[in-house]
Amino acid sequence: MRAVVVRTFAGPEALELVDVPVPEAGPGQVRVRVEAAGVNPVDAVTRAGVLAQAGLMPPREVVGIGWDVAGVVDRVGPGVAGFAPGERVIGLRDRLDAPLGSYAEYLVLDASVLAPAPAGVPAVEAATLPLNGLTAVQALDLLGLPAGATLLVTGAAGAVGGFAVELAVLRGLRVVALAGEEDEALVRELGAEWFVPRGTADPAAAVRSLVPGGVDGALDAALLGVVALGAVRNRGAFVAVSGGAPVGLRGIRVTNVWIAADGRALAGLSDLAARRRLTLRVADALPLEQAAEAHRRLDRGGLRGRLVLVP
């Protein structure tokens, strides 16, 4: 089969399309015929060697790329119940020690990280859900805010931030969205009650002018750190996406969200997507052999929605 790998950490040109043996499903595993693979920032930092330099992945001569997958069950290993060949599924490859990623024609994953694909949703759209949707829901779980509480979401027009706004509103939270001025209509459509433009001279003061005393919590998808922390009330809660959490000043409970694949939680997100309660946004779909071009576009930024690779 064909798969995209990296042998030398570098820019998008480091992505190679190679022929490798089709992986076999072991006990408790499922082999998925990949129909679509989401392209995420974590793929770019993997390709560039950032994760390896940080000691987050073991040394390897060949590194597979890609976390998000949507596809069809091709084969199930011994002991697997609940999935059968021909079933459409979505899943997340969160193990950095795994030899191959989702940029491939086939991918083997533990059955526990898979979920039924959202009914009636094309694979290209479904592939945008696992990593970003699970990050958003796990961040909200860490915040633990009750219905009626106020929440600041930074990077609210991004892939994680957009899901976070919608999921927060579904939990009964009142959302302040911080995003680009051109995205105000989008984040309000997603359910944000208040809006603060990115680039505001003092974002914390702007938030506090809308929510006197500060918001109960913040989900910092844009990694603003202490800038966003200033918008949170004393003894509130703060979650940073993918590291970079500031010191918990003023008794604020601060943590990072480190994504963990979770088939049960993903099934809940899939159901919401099937019922159009979550907005799946695709910037563009490209063939697998154009993975380097997808990464060049990702590196340039400015995307609304995810790029997706199709084998």
What CATH number did the domain enclosing 216 receive?
3.40.50.720
CA distance 69 to 55: 25
Tally the domains of the chain.
Answer: 2
What is the CA 138 to chain-centroid distance, rounded?
A: 11
Q: 115 lies in a domain? A: yes
Co-location of 210 and 285 in the same domain: no
Q: 112 lies in a domain? A: yes
Per-residue pLDDT of the chain (311 residues; tens, 9 = 90+): 999 999 999 999 999 999 999 999 999 999 999 999 999 999 999 999 999 999 999 999 999 999 999 999 999 999 999 999 999 999 999 999 899 999 999 999 999 999 999 999 999 999 999 999 999 999 999 999 999 999 999 999 999 999 999 999 999 999 999 999 999 999 999 999 999 999 999 999 999 999 999 999 999 999 999 999 999 999 999 999 987 899 999 999 999 999 999 999 999 999 999 999 999 999 999 999 999 999 999 999 988 899 999 99
Co-location of 40 and 158 in the same domain: no
Q: 268 lies in a domain? A: no
Where in the sequence is the domain holding 163, given as residue range(s)? 132-257
Q: Decide if 18 contacts 2 (C-beta within 8 A).
A: yes
What CATH number did the domain enclosing 36 receive?
3.90.180.10
Co-location of 111 and 141 in the same domain: no
Co-location of 101 and 145 in the same domain: no
Query: Of 253, 235, 152, nearest to 200 (Cα)?
Result: 152
Co-location of 158 and 208 in the same domain: yes
Co-location of 109 and 179 in the same domain: no
Co-location of 168 and 227 in the same domain: yes
Q: 303 lies in a domain? A: yes
Amino acid at 164: A
Q: 273 lies in a domain? A: no
CA distance 161 to 230: 19
Q: 263 lies in a domain? A: no
Q: 297 lies in a domain? A: yes
9 φ, ψ (degrees, to nearest 5): -65, 130
| Structure tokens belonging to residue 159 | 């892939």
Co-location of 187 and 203 in the same domain: yes
Q: 234 lies in a domain? A: yes
Co-location of 17 and 121 in the same domain: yes
Co-location of 136 and 121 in the same domain: no
Residues sharing a CB contact under 8 Å with residue 295, sequence separation 6 or more, in sequence order: 11, 12, 15, 39, 43, 44, 47
Co-location of 144 and 168 in the same domain: yes
Co-location of 145 and 223 in the same domain: yes
